Each structure stands twice: as C-alpha cells, then as structure tokens.
Amino acid sequence: MNVKSISRHKLIKLTDGVKNKIYTVKKINLPVKILKHLEALGMTPGAEIIVLNKKSSALIAGFRGTRFALGRQIAENIEITEIIKGGV
C-alpha cells in the first residue's frame, strides 16, 4: 500500500496506460481548478489508478474504489508510473 517506495520507473501519460494494469498517479498538469477537483475525488499523487476502458476521446479510470470517465484532454495531462510487483 505504501506507494512512496515506488519510483525510478518512467512516467507515462494516463492515456498510454495499458488496460487493467495498476499504476500510481505521479503528476497532474492541469489548471488549478480542475486539479483541485481531481484531488478532492482522490486522484492525489501516489494514488493507485487503473485504466478500465479506453477510446480515442475519453477513458474510464478506476481509483479509490470508484470509476470515472475522463476526457482525453484531462487524461493526457495525468502522468502515471507502473507499480513494480513485489517492490512494495
């Protein structure tokens, strides 16, 4: 569960995440208003995130036990990194 020990893995965009693989949120490059909204929803740095469904204009991501549909312009500004199995 402790996600701070994971790093040294390259950052990718949420839109490039592979379906059904668990990642952690690293960085969100969005205007403050949207950033705060996402953080209140639980998308804080270190949170686990999983891409459940993808299409060109949007994707469905699961985090903190709930799923959200996120538009491409939002999703491509969220940077994630892979969780190394057994590294925690």
Partner 1 sequence: MTIGFIGNPNSGKTTLFNAYTGANLKVANWPGVTVEKKEGALKYHGRIFKLVDLPGAYSLSSYTLEETVAENYILSGEVDVLINVVDASSLERNLYLTLQLLELGKPLVIALNMMDIVEKRGMEIDLHRLHDILGVPVVPVSALKRRGLDSLIHAAAHHRDETGAKNNKNNNNFEFARKIKPEAKTEFSEFSEFEEKYSVIEAIVGEVLVNREKANLITNKADAILTNKFSGLPAFLLIMALVFFLTFLIGDKIKDYIEIIFENFSEFADEALVNLGINEIVHSLITDGIIAGVGAVLSFLPNIFILFIMLAVLEDSGYMSRVAYVMNGIMTKIGLSGKAFVPMLLGFGCSVPAVMATRSLGSSKDRLRTIIVIPFMSCSAKLPIYILFSGMFFPGYSALAAYSMYLIGFILGIFSAFIFNKIDNRYSIRKHNEENNSLIIELPGYKTPGFRTVFIYVWEKIKDYILRAGTVIFAASVIIWGVMHLGFSGYTNNIAESFGAVLGEKLAVILSPAGLGFWQAGVALIAGFAAKEIVAASFAILFGVANVTSDSGMSMLSAELSAIGFGSLNAYCLMLFSLLYPPCAAALAVIRRESGSWGKLGAVIIFQVGVAWVVSFAVYQIFSLFL
Element (H, E) at 37: helix 32-40
CA distance 71 to 22: 20
Nearer to partner 1 by Cβ, of 9 and 42: the residue is 42
Minimum CB separation of residue 56 from partner 1 in Å reads: 7
Binding residues for partner 1, rule: CB under 8 A, are 1, 30-31, 33-34, 36-42, 44-47, 52-58, 60, 64-74, 77
Q: How many CA atoms lie within 13 A of 26 on its CB side?
A: 20
Q: Between 48 and 82, whose beta carbon lies closer to partner 1? A: 48
Is residue 86 left, alpha or beta, with left meaning phi > 0 and alpha meaning psi from -120 to 50? left
Nearest CB to partner 1, comparing residues 12 and 60: 60
The distance of closest approach from Cβ of residue 50 to partner 1 in the complex, given in angstroms and rounded to an integer, is 10
Other beta carbons less than 10 A from residue 81's beta carbon: 19
